[in-house]
Amino acid sequence: MAKRSSLSIRIVEGKNLPAKDITGSSDPYCIVKVDNESIIRTATVWKTLCPFWGEEYQVHLPPTFHMVAFYVMDEDALSRDDVIGKVCLTRDTLVTHPKGFSGWAHLTEVDPDEEVQGEIHLRLEVVPGTRACRLRCSVLEARDLAPKDRNGTSDPFVRVRYNGRTQETSIVKKSCYPRWNETFEFELEEGATEALCVEAWDWDLVSRNDFLGKVVFNVQRLWVAQQEEGWFRLQPDQSKSRQKEGNLGSLQLEVRLRDEMVLPSGCYQALVQLLCREVKLGTQGPGQLIPLIEEMTSTECRQEVATNLLKLFLGQGLAKDFLDLLFQLELGRTSEAWERANLGLLSAPYPLEPLIVGEANTLFRSNSLASKSMESFLKVAGMRYLHGVLGPIIDRIFEEKKYVELDPSKVEVKDVGCSGLHRPQTEAEVLEQSAQTLRAHLGELLSALCRSVRACPAVVRATFRQLFQRVRERFPSAEHENVPFIAVTSFLCLRFFSPAIMAPKLFHLRERHADARTSRTLLLLAKAVQNVGNMDTPASRAKEAWMEPLQPTVHQGVTQLKDFITKLVDIEEKEELDLQRALSLQAPPVKEGPLFIHRTKGKSPLLTSSFKKLYFSLTTEALSFAKTPSSKKSALIKLANIRAAEKVEEKSFGSSHVMQVIYTDDAGRPQTAYLQCKCVNELNQWLSALRKVSINNTGLLGSYHPGVFRGDKWTCCHQKDKTDLGCDKTRSRVTLQEWNDPLDHDLEAQLIYRHLLGMEAALREKHRELSAGTEAASMLTGCGEASEDPLAQLLQVLQDLQEAHSCSPVSSLPLEPNCLLELQT
């Protein structure tokens, strides 16, 4: 039983940002920090004061986090990036918005006295004295202090103030994890109202000392408690007047905090079994719970519910059956609509066939549960396949940066340059050259797709086979021979490949957004792919007549695509099982890519130049490496031996984006591997992957050293014992959600329960209606009691889970251990 918190973050856009470059513009990007730790960096949008990002993230966090901050930065190639402003949302603010915070927020100026981080370890006591009681304050240590000096560290000391007296600790040089172990005493008068203030400062020889944070205690409450010890979060100095908001621009955000109390697996067993039984029974089931869930789920929640249901059934081995049920339900609604139209228009003077053809060609185009579930399924099961097909083509388009335009009204000859030494290109030459470029890209994409049948995951092929067969059964006539193909392409092309082509950053195909020229090329290519997916219908051709130069390639592509789909769905159940069995024998990669490695050996010096570039692959069994992606891999760390995966201080190697994997070797000895990533996003992705696959390991560390052991001491806390306990806490629960994450069955069941609980009243009303109808039918037919009612069972399961949550001991625990002494600022 555990309480889990997650943040759903969408960074939409900015507006009216100040110009930071001499060109009168900026190159803005966002950094997202949770309790001052950077976890996300958006792509840079070049040369604009109104950037659009549209990036979405899901972050899993411990429930004790305090604040999420969004920093808007201006990227500079030659100097340090400029800070434009920030938006801060505290946990308390997010709790007051159960449906999420959504809207525009003004950027505020970044004040150095408010940029504090870290915690301080104190012991406070009220001790008897000869004349009066004394207040004893022991300053033990601090961790994760803000680095204020250019070398990436601070020179911290602590100033303790009470009742007009001030005492200071010694200065610890070059450390963000200092240890003091110093004690101070103050005379304490009974009934005194003055607060005890503990401030951390960074000592500077020449300039003014930098503020690192403070903690203020209510002495009256301490008098009652007599003694208190713990880690206390440093607070900013908010005594100064705040800068006026609004002059730095605004940021549009969508942020939602979700706290879930996940019960033991046994508590969800009844709910999971009930839903699985409904899927196994299919359209022949008596209760039809899945249609009820779809009917009562609002449009804005449908994607989330579809993803949760899909992951639940994927974990139960029923994803294909679940999707097949949704296919049948949607096709059934199509049949009912046709029958109603047929009854109403039976004597119509015009033929009805065009109506059914139009209806058939728009199958699965709505935002139904079937469409949303299939969309999630392709991302979960087919993302590696997508990267294999599209990756090389997308990379080539980004590298070429060619000017491509087919719409004559948008051609700008001045942007193209000259075809020869003197003569600029004409509009006709630009259009012809653009058509050639797009035909080449489209032909290459279709060829890659046709070669990828065997690379497509077996479960995806089998699901498309089910879809193809169901649609062909519904539209068996010869004039509808394209309809089964269109049903497949409505998902494969329109909801998977085309969105990935238009926004490769959002599908992890590229690290950065495309510039304006490349974006236009991608958009035109995506339009061409959509036309091929629509089977080159007259309606799709009529929309944009200027796409006509691509028509021969599109027409040929339709034939190629139909041949590809025919081979794709030609998979027997035995072949599907054999492929899945072969895949289960291999450990699929969770994360892979190039990294730089350095492993410590004894007291040897650690230098930046000693990092070596290798290709790493993380599976559910081990972290391995090779010289190249195609080389034979050697196991570096067994998964079961990982004890922690954490960041390393920048000063340790003079380089940023370094992480450490702490593990034990075969002899049980502790070892550390240092790996350097190329950017903060790659660093957080690797840390997330390592933490998620090792979350259930025994012997996970609760603390670690963010520095390295160089010479005879740790660079972070200066302790000389190499086996000394870590000076910072590990962050094993801080992870980013990815599509290829290991399935968490209990969490998915909890999320589905939470959604069903929200519509419990509507379900009870529906049950009353159905029960009344069943009783009336029984009285007319003289039948006995109706068969077991799945809806009634579902309502009972929800009630049982409600009781289990109300009896949960975790729900009554405080979020933080040190709640006795409230912080005052």
Predicted local distance difference test score (pLDDT) of residue 289: 87
Q: Which of 773, 755, 765 is nearest to 791 (CA)?
A: 765
The confidence band for 8, taking pLDDT boundaries of 50, 70 and 90, is: very high
Predicted local distance difference test score (pLDDT) of residue 600: 52
Mean pLDDT throughout 223-246?
Answer: 76
Q: pLDDT tens for residues 209-228? A: 999 999 998 888 888 888 88
Residue pair 23/47 in contact (Cβ under 8 Å)? The answer is yes
Which of 128-132, 271-275, 580-584 ranks highest by mean pLDDT?
Answer: 271-275
Mark residue 364 as left, alpha or beta (left: phi above 0; alpha: psi -120 to 50; beta: remaining).
left
H/E stretch holding 230 reads strand 227-233
* Interatomic CA distance for residues 715 and 153, integer angstroms: 10
Residue labelled with tokens 């604040």: 67
Give the β-pairing of 713-714 and 709-710.
antiparallel
Q: Which of 612, 685, 610, 688 is nearest to 654 (CA)?
A: 610
Q: How far is CA 201 from the centre of its chain?
A: 36
Judged against a pLDDT cut of 90, whether residue 810 lies above it is answered with: no
* Interatomic CA distance for residues 756 and 752, integer angstroms: 6
179, two tokens:
């240890």
The confidence band for 824, taking pLDDT boundaries of 50, 70 and 90, is: very low
Residue pair 622/665 in contact (Cβ under 8 Å)? The answer is no
Predicted local distance difference test score (pLDDT) of residue 395: 94
Q: What share of the chain is helix, strand, coil (3-state, %, to 5)?
A: 40, 25, 35
Residue labelled with tokens 């960041």: 647
Q: pLDDT tens for residues 489-515? A: 999 998 999 999 999 988 989 888 888
Q: Which of 314, 516, 275, 262 is nearest to 401 (CA)?
A: 516
Q: pLDDT tens for residues 72-83? A: 999 988 888 899
| Chain mean pLDDT for the chain | 84
Q: How far is CA 798 from the centre of its chain?
A: 29
Residue pair 405/428 in contact (Cβ under 8 Å)? The answer is no
Half-sphere exposure of 705 (CA within 13 A, CB side): 22
Indicate the range of 11-20, 231-240, 382-391, 694-703 predicted with least confidence: 231-240
H/E stretch holding 142 reads strand 134-143
Mean pLDDT throughout 406-429?
Answer: 70
H/E stretch holding 716 reads none
Q: Which of 86, 145, 140 is nearest to 117 (CA)?
A: 145
SS3 (DSSP) at 240: coil
Q: pLDDT tens for residues 440-485? A: 999 999 999 999 998 898 889 999 999 999 999 988 888 888 889 9
* Phi and psi torsions of 741, nearest 5°: -60, 150
Judged against a pLDDT cut of 50, whether residue 817 lies above it is answered with: no
Residue labelled with tokens 């607070």: 235
Which of 235-249, 263-277, 533-547, 770-784 ranks highest by mean pLDDT?
Answer: 263-277
* Interatomic CA distance for residues 267 and 127, integer angstroms: 50
Contacting residues for 332 by C-beta, under 8 A, at least 6 apart = 283
Q: If you count them, how many residues does the chain have?
A: 825
528, two tokens:
């061409």
Predicted local distance difference test score (pLDDT) of residue 346: 37
State percent of the chain over pLDDT 90: 43
Predicted local distance difference test score (pLDDT) of residue 797: 92
Of residues 419 and 547, which shows the higher confidence score?
547
H/E stretch holding 501 reads helix 498-502
Residue pair 679/75 in contact (Cβ under 8 Å)? The answer is no
Mean pLDDT throughout 648-674?
Answer: 90
State percent of the chain over pLDDT 70: 85
Contacting residues for 549 by C-beta, under 8 A, at least 6 apart = 406, 431, 432, 435, 439
